[in-house]
């Protein structure tokens, strides 16, 4: 292990951009999403620790974005959709009234990337999807601490991210990787035998592949323990999310795939575990609440008091662990495969999945059809040739092909079902 590259995320190393006295300046990307709104709740409860200087969002909830901007008194607001700027300006004017100047507004596909490179201490990337890659790279290149909730940017651009990130510059915000991050602080890298990533099992735990054939969108969105956005919730139902997290764990901690295990833990109390070479296992456990991992991402190496609820140990509870059913949920095995292939293969896997999830949410693809189509796209892509010479154009080209091919397969499935 000593000759392998250093891990991207190491709790023993702290990357600390030069900061002045007072609260830590933070930029939040994806402000109106699940991660963003919970991060803002945490910031508002800890004004002595954090100060938000800028917010970005896609632009679908301008009223909420304007309210957030006003409550935080940010300098800049960014939206990806240029067509919503008039509505955003009107919403901001309604919040601020006539007595205060409005924040600067940035708009367009590159707006979030501009914010990621702006003057601050920490960038929280809470964007969903691989569109978060450019902001991730911009934050790292600008020398900001990156609180990374956008796992897709690391997965599709692994070598690019690793080339830019300095030791300790990335703090993971996924609950599983924040758990591993904290547990790894108990030992040295050479002490680690195995990473154990936990999965709730989603709403369909215990069902066979045949029993999943007719599940509905409503069924798939009914996650038993976590409240998340629709894409992540569907990814949790297919366990694609867990496959992505296996790749992310490999990239963050430089642990080989054969030493990263997935176990099903329905209660979602234990967020992940590290098994050490002496036989001991350290588990990080809290009630399901993303404000804890967000607080680690924004505050590390300090902990934020009362960031999230703690357990009531006077109340009896049962914690269960089960092996993963790889037949009903082949996504984790496929993710390991594309992770080992590296190059553009993870980008193809992720992009095809995003298209297929969208098709499922629109009723254009059955639940089992998501992984069937993604698997076919990955197989057709074959072995990538880019290897360690991956570039951003490589990623974009591979994603464009994967999305187009996934749409073709989705259309073929819809046509076949219509004829049946």
* Annotated binding-site residue numbers for NADPH: 32-35, 150, 152, 229
Sign of CA dihedral 229, 231, 235, 240: negative
Structural contact between residues 170 and 252, judged by C-beta atoms closer than 8 angstroms: yes
Structural contact between residues 42 and 294, judged by C-beta atoms closer than 8 angstroms: yes
State how far the Cα of 408 lies from the Cα of 117, in Å rounded to an integer.
37
State how far the Cα of 231 lies from the Cα of 132, in Å rounded to an integer.
15
Q: Which residues carry a binding-site annotation for Mn(2+)?
A: 174, 176, 245
Q: Which long-range contacts (CB under 8 A, 24 or more apart) does 35-38 make?
A: 35/124, 35/126, 35/149, 35/173, 35/290, 35/294, 36/124, 36/126, 37/64, 37/68, 38/290, 38/291, 38/294
Helix ranges (H only) for 62-174 are 62-72, 85-96, 111-116, 133-141, 151-156, 158-164
State how far the Cα of 64 lies from the Cα of 32, in Å rounded to an integer.
7
Which residues does 107 contact at the CB level (< 8 Å), separation at least 6?
Answer: 59, 78, 79, 80, 81, 82, 84, 85
State how far the Cα of 88 lies from the Cα of 56, in Å rounded to an integer.
12
Which residues does 100 contact at the CB level (< 8 Å), separation at least 6?
Answer: none
Q: Which residues carry a binding-site annotation for 1-deoxy-D-xylulose 5-phosphate?
A: 151, 175-176, 200, 223, 236, 241-242, 245
Distances (CA, A) of 132 to 23, 112, 152, 324, 334: 26, 9, 7, 29, 23
Q: Which residues carry a binding-site annotation?
A: 32-35, 150-152, 174-176, 200, 223, 229, 236, 241-242, 245
Q: Residue 272 pairs with which residues in a beta bridge? A: 197, 284
- Residues present in the chain in total: 420
């Amino acid at each position: 292990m000593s000759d392998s590259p250093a891990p991207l995320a190491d709790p023993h190393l702290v990357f600390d951009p030069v900061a002045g006295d007072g609260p830590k300046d933070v930029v939040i990307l994806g402000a109106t999403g699940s991660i963003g709104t919970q991060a803002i709740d945490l910031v508002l409860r800890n004004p002595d620790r954090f100060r938000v200087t800028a917010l970005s969002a896609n632009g679908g909830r301008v009223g909420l974005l304007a309210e957030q901007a006003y409550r935080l008194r940010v300098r800049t607001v960014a939206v990806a959709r240029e067509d919503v700027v008039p509505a955003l300006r009107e919403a901001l004017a309604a919040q601020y009234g006539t007595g205060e100047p409005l924040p600067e507004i940035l708009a367009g596909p590159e707006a979030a990337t501009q914010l990621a490179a702006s003057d601050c201490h920490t960038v929280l990337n809470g964007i969903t999807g691989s569109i978060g890659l450019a902001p991730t790279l911009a934050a790292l290149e600008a020398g900001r601490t990156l609180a990374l909730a956008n796992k897709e940017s690391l997965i599709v651009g692994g070598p690019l991210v690793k080339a830019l990130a300095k030791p300790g510059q990335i703090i993971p915000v996924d609950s599983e990787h924040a758990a591993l991050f904290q547990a790894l602080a108990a030992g040295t890298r050479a002490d680690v035998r195995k990473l154990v990533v936990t999965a709730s099992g989603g709403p369909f735990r215990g069902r066979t592949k045949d029993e999943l054939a007719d599940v509905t969108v409503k069924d798939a969105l009914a996650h038993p323990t976590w409240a998340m956005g629709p894409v992540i919730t569907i990814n949790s139902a297919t366990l694609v999310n867990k496959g992505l997290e296996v790749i992310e764990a490999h990239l963050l901690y430089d642990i080989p795939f054969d030493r990263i295990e997935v176990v099903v833990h329905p209660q979602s109390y234990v967020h992940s575990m590290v098994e050490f070479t002496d036989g001991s296992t350290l588990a990080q456990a809290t009630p399901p609440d993303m404000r804890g991992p967000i607080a680690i991402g924004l505050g590390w190496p300090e902990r934020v008091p009362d960031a999230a609820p703690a357990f009531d140990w006077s109340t009896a509870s049962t914690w269960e662990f089960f092996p993963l059913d790889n037949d009903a949920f082949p996504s984790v095995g496929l993710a390991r495969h594309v992770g080992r292939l590296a190059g553009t293969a993870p980008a193809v896997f992720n992009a095809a999945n995003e298209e297929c999830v969208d098709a499922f949410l629109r009723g254009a693809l059955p639940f089992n059809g998501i992984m069937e189509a993604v698997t076919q796209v990955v197989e057709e892509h074959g072995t990538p040739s880019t290897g360690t010479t991956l570039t951003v154009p490589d990623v974009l080209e591979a994603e464009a092909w994967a999305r187009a091919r996934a749409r073709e397969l989705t259309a073929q499935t819809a046509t076949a079902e219509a004829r049946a």
